[in-house]
Structure 1
Amino acid sequence: MNPNYYTLAPKVIPIQGTPLRIIEVLPVGLPDRLDRVSIMVNTDQGQSNILDNNRWTSTLSTELHDSLSASLQQQLNAVDRYTSGISTTNTVYRIAIDFSRFDIVKPIPNHRNGSVEVAVSWMIKPIEPLQTSTTSKQPTHRLLNCRMSFSQEVANSDSVTDMVNASKLAVNQVTTGVSDAVFAVEKGTTPRVNHAVCS
């Protein structure tokens, strides 16, 4: 049987005009048990089922990184310097994201719907442009750490497509939290992000 391939990659609309921000999305941290090509489904009782005929188009950590990078570029009207390698005289927002959980959980029969269980933290470190003796000034941005955990419901836990769609919704929620945090760092304020705590 030929395997089915799925991706978390979002639909991206080309950025219009000159990019306003430069970001640098580092490779995503993910537990080894999750970082595989085959989709893995867990049960409420702690059992894991590897779906060898249903696969991501790359390892899950790469899928998460590429999806987050593309979505953040869209939401922030930005270019990811990590993948483009461009040089800039603007502030660069370096973003490190670490997932301790990204588990697709299928309940035992006749119980609640399945879910994608997410626990993630991220750090935004502003990299200020090099200053000269004539332009020296105090940095205006501060480092920010955030963490969040939530459950994203799977409409039909017997459908791999629904599992993938729920995974995409979960990534979208993380993306929104990270982009809100970038806006807050830029403005020097404390972000208010659903399900997240920042300091």
Structure 2
Amino acid sequence: MMFARLPRPPRGLVRGAMYVGALAGLVAMAACSSPSSRFYTLGADGAAAGAAAPVSARTSAAPAWLIEVAPIDVPPQVAKNQLVVQTGPTQVQVLEQERWASLPGDEIRRALSTSLTQQLGTIDVYGTAYPDTTPVYRVSMNVQRFESWPGSHALIDAVWSVRAVRGTGVMTCRSVVSETVSGGYDALVNGHRVALQRIAVQVAAAVQAMAAAYPKGGSAGKGGAVAVPGCPSAVVSS
């Protein structure tokens, strides 16, 4: 029996196929060897947030007054998904593999909202409809410095205010908190979490003071006009 001999493919085609195969192999090796990104959040852990409790245990009657935590501004140089760390007084480094789970402003707002609702036993109604008869106190914050010094400290410098939504009463304060941290980015992020929690305690005290001064969310109590409460003490620490 005789077999027909198939024609050989052109040498250029064979070399091209070999080149493409080798290139694909190199790309695959590079993909496997590239470091994976790590994501961080400022949210509280499960124990602090009450994640272990059943849903029915966290359901309660409508609170007597509400809060509204507005979106939070952060400095433009840190308003990105990558962690930005200080390498000197005038130098920073953007870490491509170390990233926030969401933008820093969103992380701060979510963590602040969670802390305030837990401390005050109320609800954050930002972006949600609420009864016209329920007093609402708006919390606004402008983070002026959000510095990350690996192996040294995490610093948050924020100007914030609490305002009765239906009135003119407003309290404006400043908190500067610096937390010492050990080495590693986990410790750095945790330092920011602790610093923000300390600020949240001050904000909660301010909300309570405003709610006492303006129980109807706009007008003063039976005594008529009242002075706006002063800022909580010890808002600056290091």
Normalised by the length of structure 1, the TM-score is 0.81
Give CA deviations for 1:45-73 in whole Å, capped at 9, x if unaligned.
Answer: 32211111111100101100111111111
1:56-67 alignment runs, 5 A limit: 56-67=100-111
Q: Residue 6 of structure 1 corresponds to which residue in structure 2?
A: 40
Would the aligned equivalents of 1:21 and 1:76 in 2 still touch at CA under 8 Å? no
Whether 1:126 and 2:164 are equivalent positions in the alignment is: yes
Q: Going by fraction, where is strand more abundant, 1 or 2?
A: 1
Cα drift, residue 34 of structure 1: 1.1
- Which runs of 5 or more structure 1 residues have no equivalent in the other structure? 107-112, 129-138
Q: Going by fraction, where is helix more abundant, 1 or 2?
A: 2
- Which runs of 5 or more structure 2 residues have no equivalent in the other structure? 1-34, 51-57, 214-228
Pairing partner for 2:197 from 172, 180, 190: 172
Normalised by the length of structure 2, the TM-score is 0.69
Identity of aligned residues (%): 25
Distance change >3 Å, CA 127–CA 45, structure 1 → 2? closer
Aligned residue for 1:101, secondary structure, equals: strand
Distance change >3 Å, CA 20–CA 181, structure 1 → 2? same
Cα drift, residue 78 of structure 1: 1.1
Would the aligned equivalents of 2:173 and 2:231 in 1 still touch at CA under 8 Å? no
Number of residues paired by the alignment? 177
Whether 1:160 and 2:154 are equivalent positions in the alignment is: no
RMSD: 1.9
RCO (CA 8 Å, sep 6+): is it higher in 1 or 2? 1
Give CA deviations for 1:134-175 in whole Å, capped at 9, x if unaligned.
Answer: xxxxx6x82111112121111x1x311100111100110111
**Whole-Å separation in 2 of the counterparts to 1:46 and 1:36:** 19
